[in-house]
Structures are given as structure tokens and as C-alpha cells.
Amino acid sequence: MNNNIQLLSAALIALPLVLALGFMLGQWFKAYRERTQTTTLMLLSEVFDHTHDGVTITDTTGTIIAVNRTFTQVTGYSEDEVVGNNPRLLSSGYHDADFYKSYWDALMNEGIWQGEIWNRRKDGEVYLEWLTCKTVKNNNNEITHFVAVFSDITEHRRQEKRLEQATENDRLTGLPNTASILRELSKKTPNVQHPWCVLLLDIDKFRLVNSSYGFAVGDQLLNNIAKRLQGCCTQGLIARHSADVFIVATPLINATEEEQLATISRLRDCISKPFSVLGRLMEFNFSVGATLWNTTDVAVNTALQEAELALHASKSRGAGQTRFYSDDLRTDQNPLAYLQGLREALGNNELALFYQPLVLATTGKIHALEVLLRWTHPVMGNVPPDHFIPLAERNGLMEPLGHWVLQQALKQYASWQKSGIAPPHIAVNVSPIEFQSEHFVGNVVAALKKYQVKPHCLELELTEGVFVQQDPSTLEKLATLSKHGINLAIDDFGTGYSSLAYLKHLPVNQLKLDRAFIQGLPENEADRAIVESTLALCKGLKMSVVAEGVENIEQANYLRSQGCDYIQGFFYGRPINQELTSKLLTDQKNDAIST
């Protein structure tokens, strides 16, 4: 009993303390909740004011009660100008009543509307926004507010349009590009009665415009050509296919070749008139490849491929030619097949060097080996050099091809030197296209150092055209090569230029008389006169002379009697591969030892 009374007394004494503690805890929790709510509100306010999206809050009557900072930045209106107003002040006038009815129906029935809408800024500029508007409801499921969140997508849409324009049209000329014209052509329905002529038009020697006058002038010329084509092909489709190639597709009344020729003739008449380049009138040739597209059974991209084959065939004939597609162009012998095969030849080990001896006229001993390039295609077989070398020159492959030849020739010559069987010189032909490269001299010098070949052992054979073009760059290259000790020879002399005046000003060591002047020796009086006068001229200029194309003993004896220094031709040896050449050099060395 006493214990119970004691416990009750203790509880009564502690009760005020417990009540006070409870009150204090209640006050602390209340303050904590208020602080939390304040912090949350502050965070929400920061998010509302600094989000990258514009935000508008309206009441149920559509009156704006709050906007954020992005809203004012996008629209140009300040908060004071819009609060209390209806969002209609942003209306662009681009949307009709049905648009807004659909907007409100979705909002009221589904509680949300989302889509693109055109609005107007304060300065009057119309802009496109992506808008999401949502209803806000209370616990009784009653709408109390509308919250709209939007992003200005005007610039994004402009970029899309620019991208679409870039993918559909050529940036420079504004003409449709290849993909665009193919899509447009695929919508057409050609037939035997109403076929289409699809042709490719290529500007011959266009690279010379860029190299001579600069790319800005080249761009101006392309623009002028595009405008000419648009003016003279009002019934057809035009596109820019590549750098200097345009596509023209025009409907024909009949499928006759005469009509196609007449169409191309009108096209040539239109664009062959002189163009103004830097205030000067200049004329250009155009190569044309054409095909007849007269059935939907043939895909339009196939028709374009036929035109490409015809274009390559026309360019192989020379500048300013026209070629119509025929089935034989799909064989392995067409120029396009050659070109593609040549691009792959280096990597596929299809190229090889052959060597033809150049002998001393007095002794018949090998003085030099001329390097000759050979191509063996797995399908086409042995491709003649006069087929693939011009193709390489026209299509930008001559520089890498020539560089490969020089590297391989010096590598093999260095191997022969180590074996003690190398002749005094190795002769490498240089294409004018290769010589024009700004890296040519550096590549030659670097190759000599790489394979440790003395410069005087190398002879570079260049055609007359290189020497005649006595521009500062050409003269500087020739002088640099000569200073390094490299021998320079004029190849095929007499076939290109009649003037001999340039010889005395150039660092030339050797002149090679073309086979055209050797074939008639010794009977042909005119050939004798040319050969004898050339030998006399070169003697005075202290230049050695090589006679090419010697095929019999009579020619060899006559040239030897006239003081010709070196002889080259089938009489002394045909071009042979590296293995047979090594044997030839070894035999010559053994003969020299035995004698």
C-alpha cells in the first residue's frame, strides 16, 4: 500500500515535467515542419524561376496569375504586363477556331494538351513553341488552375529546315543533289512512247580553273553553269552530281537517237557559249554520257549508272565527246571497270615493274635500265599501259602510282647494287601530272635517302611538255633536282614541240629520240636528216642522246656510225621482269669477268 502511494506521488510530481517536455517537442516539430515547408517552397520557387522552359499559371477563368523568368525572356513581356491578362495576348493569328476548340476539348476531357503552337512575341515576331498544358485539381477533383510549360523551338525548326535543304540540295549551286533528283525521277513513269534521256555532263579540265584562278573562281563558274542549265532545260530535271558533273534528265517525245542527239546538241549550244571569268571570256569543253530510260522495269539508279559508264567512255575518247550507253560498256573492258580495278591494283599486288636495257652504242653493254609499269588484272589479264596510264592521269591516281613506282625501282636497284650487278643508272619515267605535285622533289630526294642510292644513279625521264612550260615553279623544280645530282632526260623528243630554243636554258643531261624517227633508218632521207641534226645539236649542248625503238642491226650500225651515245629497243632486249633482269645483269657481270 505504501509503495503504491509513493509511486502515485512520484507520478504527480513528474506530470508537469512530462507535459512541459511534450509541449516543447510539439513546438519543435511544428517549427521543423514550417522550416521544411519554407525550404521546399524556396526550392520550388528557384526551380520555377530558373528552368529553361517557360511557365504560365492561370486560374480557372484563364487569367494569368504567375509566369517565370524564361517566359519573360522568350515572349519579351514583363511579369507586370501579363499578370491579370489572358494568354490570348500572345496569339499569332496562325491558328483557327477549330484548333483552339480541339485544344480545350483535350484539356477538359483528358486533363492535358501537348503539341506545337505558333505565338507572337511582344516585338511582333512569330515563334514556334512546344507546349504542354495541364489541369490542376484539388482533393474534390475540381479544377483550380492551369499550368502551361513551353519551349521555344523556332531555331530548332530552322536547323531542321536547313538540314533538310542541305540533304536535298547542293550547297553551292542550290540545285537538287543526286539523291533528290533520283527520288523525283522515281515518281515519273517512262515508257516507249514517252521515254526520258538521262545524261551526265562533265566540265573538261575543270581542275585547271581551280589551280589557275582559285576555288572562288571555280565556284563562280559552277554557279554560272547551273544557271545556264536551269535556263535551257525548263522541261527537265537538273542536279549537281559531283564537283564538276551535272545530271540532266529530260522527257522525249520519241525514243529515237536523232531526238536524243538534238536534245544534247541544244544543251551544248546553251552552255558552250563563253563564260566570264575574272572579266575575261573563256570557253570550256563538256563531255557527255547519256542513256535512254524508257521502262519502269529499269530502276532510275540503274539508268544513272548507265549514264556514268557512258560518261567514262566518252572521256576516254578525249575532251568534248558524247557517248550513249550500250551493253558492251558493262563488260570488264569499260573505262569505269579499269578505273575501279586500278584503284585496287596497288593493294592487291597486281602491279609489277619490268625493265628494258639501255645499252652503250659502242660496246652493247647495259648502261641503264628503264623502269616500265605493268598491270596484270585477275579477270582482264594484262592491261596495256596506254590504257591505264591516261586513266590514272585523268582521275587523280598518277601521283600515288608514280610514287609507288619510284620507291619500288630504287628498292630493287639498291638490292642489285648490294649484289654487285647493278648497271650505272636506273631510269624512271615521270608523268607531267606527277611532276606538278608540290611534293614531287621532296619525295624523290627522300626515296634516294631511304634506299641509300646515289642521286647520280637516278635518271628521271620527262616528256617535252614539262620542259617547254618554263614557269617559275617548273624551272625551280628542275634546278633543284639537278643540284642534287639527279640526271634529267627528255623523253619522246620531237613528237610534241618543234622549237629547240628551250634546250640551252635547261639542266638537261640526256635526250631520247622518239622511235618515230628511227623506224625508217637508214633508208629514209628525212629520218636521217632529223637524227643527224639532233645528234649535232646535242653534241654542241654537251647532252647525250638515246635512240629508242631500235629493232635491227642496220639501225644500230647507222646510229653507232653517227655518234649516237646509247641505244634502246627490241634488238637489244624487250622489257622483262625482275627475275629475268637479275639473270641478265649477272650474266653481263660474269662475261666481263671472263674476258
Q: How many residues does the chain have?
A: 595
Check: CATH 3.30.70.270 for 169-330?
Answer: yes
Domain 345-594: give its CATH architecture.
Answer: Alpha-Beta Barrel (3.20)
Global pTM value: 0.52
Residue 426 makes CB contacts below 8 A (sequence gap 6+) with 368, 369, 371, 409, 410, 413, 453, 457, 458, 459
Burial class (CB in 10 A: 0-12, 13-18, 19+), 221: buried
Q: Which three cell numbers stand for residue 152?
A: 521555344
Classify domain 54-158 at the CATH topology level: Beta-Lactamase (3.30.450)
Predicted pLDDT of residue 18: 42
Its sign, for the CA torsion 466, 472, 473, 475, is positive
Q: What distance in Å separates the CA atoms of residue 500 and residue 258, rounded to the nearest whole number?
A: 48
Predicted pLDDT of residue 497: 46
Pairing of the two strands 544-547 and 566-567 = parallel
Structure letter (DSSP) for residue 92: -
Q: What distance in Å separates the CA atoms of residue 371 and residue 358, rounded to the nearest whole number?
A: 11
Domains in the chain: boundaries: 54-158, 169-330, 345-594
Its sign, for the CA torsion 551, 557, 559, 563, is positive
Q: How many CB atoms lie within 10 A of CB 493?
A: 25
Residue 327 CA, distance from chain mean position: 29
Q: Which three cell numbers stand for residue 335?
A: 573505262
Place of cell 590504257: 387
> CA dihedral in degrees (321, 327, 333, 334; nearest 10)?
30
pLDDT along the chain (595 residues), means of 10: 51 47 53 54 57 85 88 90 90 87 89 90 89 88 88 78 62 83 80 79 81 77 88 84 86 75 82 77 84 79 84 78 80 61 79 94 93 84 78 80 93 95 94 85 93 95 71 83 91 59 74 86 87 86 90 92 92 92 90 70
Predicted pLDDT of residue 11: 46
Least Cα distance to 410 among 362, 495, 353, 464 occurs for: 353
Q: Which residues pair with 352 in a beta bridge?
A: 374
Contact 87, 62 (CB under 8 A): yes
Q: Do domains 54-158 and 345-594 have the same CATH topology?
A: no
